[in-house]
Structure 1
């Protein structure tokens, strides 16, 4: 049986605070990318921390409150659609991570970052492939980043009705494609994304991208 995340990676660092860092929203057709950084208190680690994708929305929201109450420090950062367009999604993700770390009330000496890309951050970095399933700090960050972005996309649904943002949070969905075809893109759509470009040409992105990734990941 596979084990869940632990504090082993965090406990290996003794020179100062270690934060976990993760992002949410690299793949959607619309909306910003978010990131979170969390320094957990090893004596007050919330139970049930795991990769946010494995948890229900209700569980994520419950854990969000507990993480914020018990952590030594936490921070959330965003990079806007405009910044994604100008920097590309990879570098915009790094910008959101920098903002999350800078928002921490206690600055870390080391960051455990989910994935294999070594972003340039305000402290030393250790990448951890599948980190949200290995490190409780990264798992906590994945939860905060996901909940913060989902909450923002629900707000965007009220501001930009017709696309169904509250349901799919900007990701691939038939109601999203229908809205794009009927209304065209709104201010928070990622215009360089393949599905959005297809909709602008009057083509159904759900049909074309049925068996492909949702986006062209690092397209400028």
Structure 2
């Protein structure tokens, strides 16, 4: 059995001891999806506390993620927000620029603003707030891990809603990613307005 690495408050605690008061953890979901937005989540923990099943959202079941999200939404000690980079923005500017723009908009959701941000992943861009990029950050930082869950639940809910409009693509199961079933549906029915036309598999279909 592979041991699951559980995130801690170590990074946040170190930053608090350095004098930072509002530390925002940020993560994204949907980078490689064929359809739907890229979604960023942001979380500020105002007080250390234990929440069950806070870890990398990919290691949790949908039910577990929903339970964590509902817990977060009821706690006054946690501030959270999400921000989409819609398909139109991804197709117009590319996924990297769309992500940077979404992070900037996400930061603006918090008032008072954060004075430090922890961003999952490798270096992305200089942001308006002092930043630390944390590779695999959802394994190590509680704020980033919670942001990962908040982003994942928000985006998954949207994809389930879009499934009602485009049931042949089975968005409720594949969440917009390029499963074999999804690829077969694209070949049979073509892309929808919800698909990323700039992505190579979709672009090839359009050119046929």
Per the TM superposition, whether the score is higher than 0.5 is yes
Which residue in 1 is equivalent to 2:8? 6
Which residue in 2 is equivalent to 1:92? 98
Measure, in 2, the Cα distance between the counterparts of 1:2 and 1:47. 14
- Deviation per CA, 1:8-59: give whole Å up to 9, x if none: 1001112221010000000001111000110013333423210000111100
8 A contact 2:26–2:43 mirrored in 1: yes
Matched, 1:138 2:144: yes
8 A contact 2:36–2:194 mirrored in 1: yes
The Cα shift of 1:199 comes to 3.1
Report how many residues are paired. 202
**Which residues of 2 match residues 37-116 of structure 1 at below 5 A?**
37-70=42-75, 71-116=77-122
Measure, in 2, the Cα distance between the counterparts of 1:18 and 1:136. 11
SS of structure 2 residue aligned to 1:86: helix
Q: How high is the TM-score relative to the length of structure 2?
A: 0.90
Which residue in 2 is equivalent to 1:214? none
RMSD of aligned residue pairs (Cα, Å): 1.6
8 A contact 1:5–1:50 mirrored in 2: yes
Q: How high is the TM-score relative to the length of structure 1?
A: 0.86
8 A contact 1:118–1:126 mirrored in 2: no
8 A contact 1:77–1:96 mirrored in 2: yes
The Cα shift of 1:82 comes to 0.7
Measure, in 2, the Cα distance between the counterparts of 1:3 and 1:29. 29
Which residue in 2 is equivalent to 1:183? 189
SS of structure 2 residue aligned to 1:95: helix
Question: 1:171 and 1:2, CA in 2 relative to 1: closer, same or farther beyond 3 A?
Answer: closer
8 A contact 1:36–1:101 mirrored in 2: no
Which residue in 1 is equivalent to 2:23? 18
8 A contact 1:52–1:143 mirrored in 2: yes
Which residue in 1 is equivalent to 2:40? 35
Measure, in 2, the Cα distance between the counterparts of 1:15 and 1:159. 45
Measure, in 2, the Cα distance between the counterparts of 1:69 and 1:41. 14
* Structure 1: 5+ residue stretches without partners: 203-220
Question: 1:155 and 1:194, CA in 2 relative to 1: closer, same or farther beyond 3 A?
Answer: same
* Structure 2: 5+ residue stretches without partners: none
